[in-house]
Amino acid sequence: MTDATPLPAHLGWRLAAAIYDTFPLIALWMVTGTVAMIATHGTLDYHALWYRLLLLGVTAAYYVPSWHYGGQTIGMRAWRLRVVDGSGRPPGWSAALLRFVVAPLSLAVGALGFLWCLFERERRGWHDLAAGTRVLRLPKS
């Protein structure tokens, strides 16, 4: 008999989900770029601040509702991971948004915020600590 209790997800599972999530994100970014190219009549400057902010917004629109509504992105579903708050439910809007905002900062400092998972008892990164969330590995059903 196997234990059906979800355990904190280790960094390897998180990285696998992050890699998987790049595929739908690339598709979303390509659609966004196409629409922006059409809107600018082919004169899109890919380095323009507005365009970078647009891509950031599209990325947030992928992650934040995914975490809020079900606790999972597409990549997290594939690896049976779920983001939960302190009560075991998917995070609220503010926690999901805070998690999204802090995650790039965790990466920007040499990925120390993500590597923190290796040392923290519940395997939480800085973005999880800031948002009050945990990432759990769900048992096979």
pTM of the model: 0.92
Predicted confidence (pLDDT) per residue in 13-33, tens digit? 999 999 999 999 999 999 999
Predicted confidence (pLDDT) per residue in 65-122, tens digit? 999 999 999 999 999 999 999 999 999 999 999 999 999 999 999 999 999 999 999 9
Distance from C-alpha of 16 to C-alpha of 73, rounded to nearest angstrom: 12
Give the contacts of 8 (CB within 8 A, at least 6 positions apart).
Answer: 122, 123, 124, 134, 135, 136, 137
Q: How far are the Cα atoms of 37, 67, 114, 138 from residue 30, in angstroms, in the given order?
A: 10, 22, 27, 32
Q: How far are the Cα atoms of 67, 92, 96, 99 from residue 85, in angstroms, in the given order?
A: 10, 8, 9, 11
CA angle 71, 73, 75 (to 5 degrees): 130
